[in-house]
Amino acid sequence: MELSNYVKGKKIIFGITGGIAAYKAANCVSALRRAGAEVYVVMTKNAIEFITPITMKTLSEHNVITDMFSDEGYVTHISLTEIADLFIVAPATANCIAKLRAGIADDMLSTMLLAYNKEILLVPSMNDNMFNNPATVENIQVLSNRNINFVFPETGKLATGKVGKGRFPEIDKILLKIVELIFIKPLINSISNNKFDIFKDIISKNSFLVTAGATREYIDPVRYISNGSSGKMGFGFMNAITSLGGNLKVITANYTDTRIDWFSPIKVGTTLELKDRLMENLNNIDWLIMAAAPSDYRIKESYDSKIKKTSEELNLTFIKNPDILQEIRKNNKQLNILGFAAETDELEKNGKEKLEKKKLNAICLNKVYKDEKGFNQDKNEIIFINKENFITKIELIDKEIVAYLVLYYLFKDKIG
């Protein structure tokens, strides 16, 4: 994704509190600045024990605010909080979260947070016992209810060497959340009559199974036929669903978009394996989002050992793979299904036929050109059709954004 398309010229207050992950904030500030955002760093007294203000000043190209009573600090906290598009605190310590919940303003950062009335994003990072402490759990719950946004810590090795939940998340995950708050939320509000929060609430009450990637049909132990699907569109859905609080399960065939690893996918190789794993994992799923590109055919008799180049010609016979969606539909009448189709011609006509034949709830169609637009690309342009015959076009935009828009159209009637 070209981050600058979404954050260029935006004003972001970047708060840093005193946690070992403070140094990771530097990468985040640097990425935002490179993308053309104006970043104003505010650091607590403890944060400057972990990373120096001079580092943050160099990266952000603005003076760093650390002191409440300097001339600069005094005026900035009022004027900045009025003009900033987003206020992020990363890392946010248990102490910072507790103070915001209680309305305590005893230093520059907490004072500015209290004075700020637009989007706040907190990235908690702390020892796992502190994160799981009922006080922290309750503070986060209360702040979520007040529409404060979070990117939660990941499970991994902590500063103490122990493995637990508390590790600072991937920078890309934080940047995607920033794009959601700065760009996607206003976009969806503009097309939905300000219903983004209702949309988010509905997504958080649903369970999704997303498939992605290209299956491989083996010819012999080292060769296979496959297609160029990268898994990027599927990743877009995984990110949007989890970011909006939805429940997510992922099954993937081969993919090149390694961000899919964030979601600990169940991995499969062939179309038949994909079908089997899907069948086993449909319990309690409300929506199946079938972004995977299964192969329609497999080799009739694949070779057990590597084929040697002894003959001048090699003929392979293919047999048809099952149509997974049709098979699933037979025994899952209540399941909601979103299908995809890459077409070269007559998009709407072919799309409507597939929607009916596979008894889908909705379908996303994208035109494939000889240069493979739509396949293994960052951006996608699609036509969305649902079974009530609502048709809309999503213009060429990054797949991460397409996913949010498609989710919105899937739930449009429920959102009202």
Contact residues toward ligand CTP (CB under 6 A) are 271, 290, 292, 294, 296, 321, 323-325, 339-342, 354
Is the distance from CB of 31 to CB of 3 less than 8 angstroms? yes
Which of 169, 99, 92, 157 has the alpha carbon at shortest distance from 124? 92
Q: Name residue 304's amino acid.
A: D
Nearer Cβ to ligand CTP, position 13 or 251? Answer: 251
Nearer Cβ to ligand CTP, position 273 or 323? Answer: 323
- H helices of 91-207, in order, are 94-102, 108-115, 128-132, 134-145, 171-179, 185-192, 196-204
State in angstroms the smallest separation of the CB of 384 from ligand CTP.
Answer: 13
Nearer Cβ to ligand CTP, position 124 or 374? Answer: 374
For helices 324-331 and 271-280, give the axis angle rounded to 10 degrees. 20
- With a CB cutoff of 8 Å and minimum separation 6, the contacts of 90 are 14, 15, 16, 21, 24, 25, 28, 121, 122, 123, 125, 151, 168, 174
State in angstroms the smallest separation of the CB of 59 from ligand CTP.
Answer: 43
| C-alpha span between 19 and 300 (Å, rounded) | 58
Cis peptide before 91 (omega within 30 of 0): yes
Nearer Cβ to ligand CTP, position 308 or 349? Answer: 349
State in angstroms the smallest separation of the CB of 107 from ligand CTP.
Answer: 52
Nearer Cβ to ligand CTP, position 292 or 410? Answer: 292
| C-alpha span between 25 and 17 (Å, rounded) | 10
338, β-bridge pairs? 289, 362
Nearer Cβ to ligand CTP, position 21 or 341? Answer: 341
Nearer Cβ to ligand CTP, position 60 or 229? Answer: 229
State in angstroms the smallest separation of the CB of 227 from ligand CTP.
Answer: 9
State in angstroms the smallest separation of the CB of 228 from ligand CTP.
Answer: 13
State in angstroms the smallest separation of the CB of 48 from ligand CTP.
Answer: 52
State in angstroms the smallest separation of the CB of 364 from ligand CTP.
Answer: 8
* Beta pairing, strands 336-343 & 287-290: parallel
Residue nearest to ligand CTP (CB): 324
What are the tokens at 374? 């739509």
| C-alpha span between 387 and 369 (Å, rounded) | 26
Nearer Cβ to ligand CTP, position 131 or 340? Answer: 340
| C-alpha span between 217 and 226 (Å, rounded) | 7
State in angstroms the smallest separation of the CB of 216 from ligand CTP.
Answer: 14
Nearer Cβ to ligand CTP, position 37 or 364? Answer: 364
| C-alpha span between 337 and 362 (Å, rounded) | 7
State in angstroms the smallest separation of the CB of 274 from ligand CTP.
Answer: 8
